Amino acid sequence: MSLKFEVLKTHGKSRRGKLYTKHGIINTPAFMPVGTCATVKAMMPESVASTGAEILLGNTYHLMLRPGADLVAKMGGLHKFMNWDKPILTDSGGFQVMSLSGLRKIKEEGVSFSSHVDGKKFFLSPEESIKIQHKLDSNITMCMDECVKLPAPYNKVKQSVEMSMRWAKRSRDAFVDRDGYGIFGIQQGGDYEDLRAYSAQKLVDIGFDGYAIGGLAVGEGQETMFKVLDYAPSQLPENKPRYLMGVGRPDDIVGAVLRGVDMFDCVMPTRSGRTSQAFTARGTINIRNARHREDPRPLEEGCDCPLCKNYTRAYIHHLQKCNEVLAVMLLTWHNIRYYQRLMQGLRDAIENETLKEFVENFYTNQALGDIEEI
Amino acid sequence: MSLKFEVLKTHGKSRRGKLYTKHGIINTPAFMPVGTCATVKAMMPESVASTGAEILLGNTYHLMLRPGADLVAKMGGLHKFMNWDKPILTDSGGFQVMSLSGLRKIKEEGVSFSSHVDGKKFFLSPEESIKIQHKLDSNITMCMDECVKLPAPYNKVKQSVEMSMRWAKRSRDAFVDRDGYGIFGIQQGGDYEDLRAYSAQKLVDIGFDGYAIGGLAVGEGQETMFKVLDYAPSQLPENKPRYLMGVGRPDDIVGAVLRGVDMFDCVMPTRSGRTSQAFTARGTINIRNARHREDPRPLEEGCDCPLCKNYTRAYIHHLQKCNEVLAVMLLTWHNIRYYQRLMQGLRDAIENETLKEFVENFYTNQALGDIEEI
């Protein structure tokens, strides 16, 4: 195995760990901001690092289309290309081929599709995906899998899991072992416990540096997701990181950490920054709302991001009304910092065995809602 | 007088000076980035400061519409509102009422107009403009004037100058003297030397902290502008700063400094940052051009901005193709830094009496064009 993972502490089902890569250490539970096109939208990479983020996610689908993996490789890899010297995880591209591309056709061999940018034809197989992720110089390569939208009938999910497990084997075989680089398998199986167990066992038989829980956050709702997370993490090896893909909202993450998940990624903090939404301990705030027009208070008392330290709600509201880029820059920064502070809080609470109080406080504060209007 | 200005050195017609305001010192010749809506588009204010900019321009027209001068005053003034603690100059709003608003009507008393944002009716007079700029807490208030588009017949320009000079007196009378704050008069007169002289004399009779050269950069071309600048600056007092409004391109600025101008503002560096244009010693570059697609070199060798220090042309080209905000952020930063480096070069050359070599070098390098394609 090429990535070292240490579980420093367990507390209930929750784990406090460290994942070692060639580009640095990731403290878990960890949240990975998403840098789709070799940039976390509207952020300088040094600003992303200053929020406490220790790893980014890059999207293989987008990068293979633009600028292309060969170009990134020629420029010295994704870290150098985008000026981010910390770890990078890349997805396989499979999920976004299904959701974004046109004219796709899935076969055992792989997927043919047309680019959503210019219609150009591409073919993505497990082998091709691993090769692209290698060219990108990704620290954590993800297996290519198929992801079924829930709810779905048992037999459909079963067939899909079986193909995904064959693809997992092909992905692992195509991966070139290197120190400080690793590959994660992806558990599928929808909300069927036996299929999840089957998938986990197949992946463990192949052997990976970490295990992702895939096929959630695809519209099934938090209740179903938590039901799956009540058993799925414990089906995976204890001594390897567990990564819940594409999750999620702050309360999703809290619930998943309680159930033994170590890693997360989601576009939520960055995308919300582009739609006037800010995450705070007291729930989400839409800064475009007229109530903020003359409000001289910071967005969130106690937050140390530039938005909260240096500006009033009135100012951010004004920027939004004028469609100023700075609003997006500052809100994105705040949201990523909010997520990183949440993860720090969770890590501290596991270390100090105060997770119960932390989680109670979290829900109490979220339920309060925004501070009183002035 | 409420603003102190020192001419440290003269070299030919060019001057190296210092302008003292409540919020800090401005080294002249100076270029002011434009922060139209209480933000320099796509820049954090600390980043603007890091480029060497010592003063920003704010647009009274935009700020009176959104968020309104009273709100800015309530939030502690424009410096505090936008987190910029260095000097700010505001224009009178008059020019943009003419160019942006709908249904405007100019009378001796002032201008009635409809907001270009929501059609709401406003009235702007010299007294009202000065009052708004006071509320914004602007360090340098500009007189309200009328600006005639060139070419224009003598009598039209003459009538307009006469009204502008009556407005200048009303502006000066409405201005509240405060230490570290000042008001500039604006010379008009189109390209008629005698009208420029008349205007200058009228302004000097009233008495101002500085004198702007208005009514240029309105479509007359560089040749006509330089012809006017051959005489206009020397019509204005030697012991006060001279500010050429709305100028300009790098070669406009070099030509104007040679002719004795001390201050400049222009949207060029910021607007160009949003249209893929980068200013360099070797002329402008459009980074969207396909020739940059695989170019591993920095945009401009020797530039110390984050774009040139940390990224390749290929990366910025990629960001542009994907319409990523970071492209705009980085190009804007580079362009403002380019302008500030140009100003630093001009200031040093005046101090060292090497302006002739500096200007020769400037034109030689500009004529070279971009580095050879790879």
**Ordered per-residue pLDDT tens for chain B, 374 residues:** 589 999 999 999 999 999 999 999 999 999 999 999 999 999 999 999 999 999 999 999 999 999 999 999 999 999 999 999 999 999 999 999 988 877 789 999 999 999 999 999 999 999 999 999 999 999 999 999 999 888 999 999 999 999 999 999 999 999 999 999 999 999 999 999 999 999 999 999 999 999 999 999 988 999 999 999 999 999 999 999 999 999 999 999 999 999 999 999 999 999 999 999 999 999 999 999 999 999 999 999 999 999 999 999 999 999 999 999 999 999 999 999 999 999 999 999 999 999 999 999 999 999 999 999 98
Instruction: List residues bridging with B150 in a β-sheet.
Output: none
CB contacts under 8 A, A 271-310 vs B, are 293-294, 296, 306, 310
Beta bridge partners of A24: A21
Residue percentage of chain A with pLDDT more than 70: 100
pLDDT of residue B99: 86
**B residues 225-244 near A, CB within 8 Å?**
none
Chain B CB contacts of A44 below 8 Å = 306, 326, 329
Asked if residues B49 and A310 have their Cβ atoms less than 8 Å apart, the reply is no
Task: Output the pTM of the full model.
Answer: 0.98
What pLDDT band is residue A103 in, cutting at 50, 70 and 90? Answer: confident
Which residues of B are less than 8 Å from A296 in CB distance?
74-75
Dist CA A184 CA B85 (whole Å):
49
Question: In this predicted structure, what is the pLDDT of residue A98?
Answer: 86
Would you call B61 an interface residue with chain A, using a CB distance cutoff of 8 Å?
no
Task: State how far the Cα of A198 lies from the Cα of A81, in Å rounded to an integer.
Answer: 40
Helix (H, G, I), strand (E, B) or coil at A294: coil
CA distances A313 to A40, A42, A316, A322, B190, Å, are 24, 20, 5, 14, 44
Answer whether A311 sits within 8 Å of B43, measured CB to CB: no
Over residues A173-204, the pLDDT tens digits come to: 999 999 999 999 999 999 999 999 999 999 99
Look at residue A28 in the predicted model and tell me its pLDDT: 98
A91, A209, A295, A370: which is the annotated catalytic residue?
A: A91
DSSP for residue B135: H
Domains of chain A: 27-266 (3.20.20.105), 273-368 (no CATH)
Query: Catalytic site residue A265?
Result: yes
Q: Is A84 on the interface with B (CB under 8 A)?
A: no
Mean pLDDT of all residues in A326-334: 98
Q: Do A188 and A164 contact (CB within 8 A), yes or no? A: yes
Q: What is the pLDDT of residue B98?
A: 85
Tens digits of per-residue pLDDT, A249-264? 999 999 999 999 999 9
Least confident of A14-23, A46-55, B96-105: B96-105
**B262, B265, B295, B370: which is the annotated catalytic residue?**
B265
* Inter-CA distances, B280 with B287, B333, B335, B349, Å: 12, 13, 8, 19
Q: How many CB pairs under 8 A join A and B?
A: 98
Length of chain A (residues): 374
Task: Report the chain B residue with the minimal C-alpha distance to residue A326.
Answer: B42
Is the pLDDT at A1 greater than 60? The verdict is no
Of the candidates A38, A67, A325, which has its C-beta nearest B42's C-beta?
Answer: A325
CB atoms within 10 A of CB B27: 17
Interchain contact A321–B (C-beta under 8 A)? yes
Residue A1, token pair as written in the block: 């195995």
Cα–Cα dist B133/B58, whole Å: 10
Look up B91 and say whether it is catalytic: yes
Chain A contact set for B82 (CB, 8 A):
315
Give the pLDDT score at A104.
87
CA A115 from chain center: how many Å?
23
The alpha-carbon gap from A254 to the nearest alpha carbon of chain B, in Å, equals 31
Q: Which residue of B has its CA nearest to A81?
A: B315
* pLDDT reading at A152 higher than 70: yes
Is A75 touching B (CB cutoff 8 A)?
A: yes
Q: How many CA atoms does the CB half-sphere of A252 hold within 13 Å? A: 22
In this structure, the strands spanning B102-106 and B182-187 are: unpaired
- The one catalytic residue in B91, B209, B252, B295 is B91
CB A28 within 8 A of CB A19: yes
ipTM: 0.97
